[in-house]
Amino acid sequence: MSNTAMLATVSDPDHMSDPNWWRQAAVYQIYPRSFSDSNADSLGDIRGITAKVPYLKALGIDAVWLSPFYPSALADGGYDVDDYRDVDPKLGTLADFDEMAKALHAAGIKLIADIVPNHSSNRHEWFKEALASPKGSAARERYIFRDGKGTNGELPPSDWDSVFGGSAWERITEPDGTPGQWYMHIFAKEQPDLNWSSREVRDDFLKTLRFWSDRGVDGFRVDVAHALTKDLTEPLLSQLELSVANSGTDGFDDGSHPFWDRDEVHEIYAEWRAVFNEYNPPRTAVAEAWVHATRRARYASPAGLGQAFNFDLLQADFDAVEYREIITRNLAEARDTGASSTWVFSNHDVVRHATRYGLPRGTGKHAGSQDGKAWLLAGAPAGELDVELGLRRARAATLLMLALPGSAYLYQGEELGLQEVTEILDAERQDPAFFRDRGVQIGRDGCRVPLPWKVEGTSFGFGDAGSHLPQPDWFSKYAVEAQDGTEGSTLELYRTALKLRRELQTAEELEWVETGNPDVLHFRRPDGWQVVANFGGTAVELPEGAVLVSSSPLEEANLPANSTAWLR
């Protein structure tokens, strides 16, 4: 017995000119400040990325997604942007960027740039002009300024919390030195929200999209894509009212939240799509939108951004039943909308999945679930983490993901099997979430530690100086040098799987094969490609066929526990 989920598109083998290259691409996220340091200042940079293009080509990816590289004070890891049309001098120059784009394209690798439209930094020229201008001025209209409540405006316009803790409003001092209006910031106070009701704001971002597209950027990852439009009509709902009505994601399932996932945001992305289609092949985009599942499709519409991140697998436990439900539902959603699915396990905002999958599932004193955040907050008790099991499951999960129809997003270092770094002192932390929400969040620094390239030496080959976040001693055994050419290493598993994925990739179809075992998933892709994933604790017999790759060594003809294999 089987059932089939089908999507129609098969991409042109030459994905550099193929307008559908993104539909089943393997995309590698680079966090620039932690990838490779070329000038010994402890910070990764653009030239460091260019120097590693041969590594990226050998890995077998189709595209690089570059996290923010713009001028920034790093109040939020570069997501506080001073200038949308320049490169942070600490990371390089526009000429360096052009050279990197050229090198990536020469290697057959597309380039996706992170764009941050919800907010600028408080050092942006526009915001500095707004602070120097009077209430009601055109300069302030680019942001969201409101009068405060209370007798003298001493209270914020609402009691809303920011994502990083504390109020979502910050009071300014007026040009004459008196206490003044308040501006809205969903995130850090250094990240004032832009006013997307302003035609000037909309037009300037269209200019930015063309600026980077003209320099060779092939697509954009849109940060907080669901937050741009707001309705701050009085009376504003209270924080309690927002919390009670929340459906478990950002926004309400009817689109009526005052700042998350409002329907009007899609008018903006229709304008962006018109810009994307000016190019050949058209520029692509993928939305970061933590929204209700029933509302995700609009972000992935061909008339809008075209694709939206699906974080369902990232949030799932290592469980066959849960995986199958998520995969089936998302493929059906993609089929209905004409988009392609996206799959991801790790990124710069979450605990690495090699660590998450080594934590207890719903039984650990601190874990609660496998997101790992409560475990980190509790001091990362070593007794709750099974490092070997976590890596074994992560390898199995990734091998399954790479066989799914749709695009796969990988985060730098996961191809090395890196664990979350927990050995970071409070004084060494950088994430604003840690400082603004103490006792609630430990922050995201542990997944942003610079990569180990060498087994020894200064910063394990990251650069000729130290690293901007501390690297633990155990990084040595995970280094690229330790795994390169080593049979069975996680790096070689990724290289093999990505090479096979490109060779085997065909129509966006998946056919489930019933196994009679709730811990085992089995599906077929066209042309005889089969995938079996064993989520259980004992080995299972594999179906007939030649084994192409497996996440763990086979036990004779059997697939071990917590393992995945591809056959044909």
**The residue type at 244:** V
29 Cβ contact list (under 8 Å, min separation 6) = 64, 65, 67, 347, 348, 409, 410, 411, 412
As a 3-state breakdown, the chain gives helix, strand, coil percent values, each rounded to 5, of: 30, 15, 55
510 burial via Cβ count (<10 Å: 0-12, 13-18, 19+)? buried
As a residue count, the chain comes to: 568
Cross-strand pairs, 559: 540
Peptide bond before 281: cis, by omega within 30 degrees of 0?
Answer: yes
Query: CA-to-CA distance for 322 and 271, rounded, in angstroms?
Result: 37
Query: CA-to-CA distance for 473 and 459, rounded, in angstroms?
Result: 10
Q: Is 288 a catalytic residue?
A: no
Q: Is 223 a catalytic residue?
A: yes
3-state secondary structure of 256: coil
**The residue type at 421:** V
Cβ 567 vs Cβ 545: under 8 Å: yes
Indicate which residue of 76, 223, 250, 437 is catalytic. Answer: 223
Residue 146 is classified by DSSP as E
**The residue type at 159:** D
| Residue of 341, 378, 339, 340 whose CA lies nearest to 359 | 378
Query: CA-to-CA distance for 430 and 443, rounded, in angstroms?
Result: 8
* Buried-exposed string 479-504: b where 16+ CB fall within 10 A, e elsewhere: bbbbbeeeeebbbebbbbbbebbbeb
Query: CA-to-CA distance for 249 and 44, rounded, in angstroms?
Result: 33
Indicate which residue of 203, 278, 514, 527 is catalytic. Answer: 278
Q: How far is CA 103 from the centre of its chain?
A: 23
**Which residues carry out catalysis?**
223, 278
